[in-house]
C-alpha cells in the first residue's frame, strides 16, 4: 500500500467534488498533521471523522522536539506552518506528498520526496474503476471552473487538457 500525507487543499478539493469516500477507498494509506486537519472547516472535519475512526486517516501530532527539527529546516518563506508539517511528516515517515500547491510540490521534488496532486488522484480513481472517465472529466471541469489554481499555469492547463481529451472531453 502507498503511504501519502495530504495537505488541506486536497481534502478541500475532494470534499467539494464529492469524492471523499472514493479517495479513502484508494490503495493509499492517508496521513496528515493535526495542523492541517485543524485548518479545515468543521463540516470538512466532520466528513473526515469516520476515516479517522476506521484508521483510514492517520493524524500526526508534532511535539516540541519535532517542531524544533522542523523549524531548523530551510523551508521557503512563503510556506505556512501547515505546509512545513506536511513536508516534515512526509520526510519522517517516508511518504509521498499529496498537494495541489505548486510551491509545496516543487520543494518536495527538490528534496526527492514523491508528490502528486488532484490529477493523480483522478487517474487513480479512474484506473481503479471507482469513477467513469466521463465523470472524472465532469468533475475536473468543475474543479477548473471553481479553483483558480487550475486556470493560470500554462503547463498545468496543458496537462489538464491532456487528461480531459483522454477522458473524451475538453476545457
Q: H or E segment at 148? A: none
pLDDT-derived band at 151, boundaries 50, 70, 90: confident
Q: What is the mean pLDDT of the chain?
A: 93
- pLDDT tens digit sequence for 48-90: 999 999 999 999 999 999 999 999 998 999 999 999 999 999 9
pLDDT-derived band at 170, boundaries 50, 70, 90: low
* SS3 call for 19: coil
- pLDDT tens digit sequence for 6-32: 999 999 999 999 999 999 999 999 999
55: Cβ–Cβ under 8 A, 6 or more apart, which residues?
A: none
The strand pairing partners of 96, in sequence order, are 4
CA distances from 74 to 88, 93, 144 (A): 11, 19, 32
What is the value of pTM for the model shown? 0.93
**Domains of the chain, first to last:** 2-118 (3.40.50.1010), 132-171 (no CATH)
Residue identified by cell 469516500 is: 21
Amino acid at each position: 500500500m502507498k503511504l501519502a500525507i495530504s495537505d488541506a487543499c486536497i481534502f478541500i478539493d475532494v470534499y467539494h467534488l464529492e469524492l471523499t469516500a472514493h479517495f479513502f477507498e484508494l490503495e493509499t494509506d492517508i496521513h496528515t498533521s493535526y495542523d492541517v486537519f485543524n485548518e479545515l472547516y468543521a463540516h470538512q472535519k466532520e466528513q473526515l471523522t469516520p476515516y479517522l475512526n476506521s484508521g483510514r486517516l492517520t493524524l500526526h501530532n508534532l511535539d516540541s522536539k519535532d517542531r524544533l527539527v522542523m523549524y531548523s529546516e530551510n523551508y521557503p518563506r512563503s510556506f505556512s506552518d501547515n505546509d512545513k508539517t506536511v513536508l516534515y511528516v512526509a520526510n519522517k515517515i517516508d511518504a509521498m506528498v499529496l498537494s495541489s500547491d505548486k510551491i509545496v510540490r516543487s520543494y518536495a521534488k527538490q528534496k526527492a520526496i514523491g508528490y502528486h496532486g488532484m490529477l493523480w488522484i483522478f487517474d487513480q480513481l479512474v484506473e481503479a474503476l471507482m469513477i467513469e472517465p466521463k465523470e472524472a472529466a465532469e468533475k475536473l471541469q468543475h474543479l477548473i471552473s471553481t479553483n483558480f489554481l487550475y486556470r493560470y499555469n500554462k503547463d498545468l492547463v496543458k496537462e489538464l487538457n491532456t487528461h480531459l481529451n483522454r477522458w473524451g472531453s475538453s476545457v
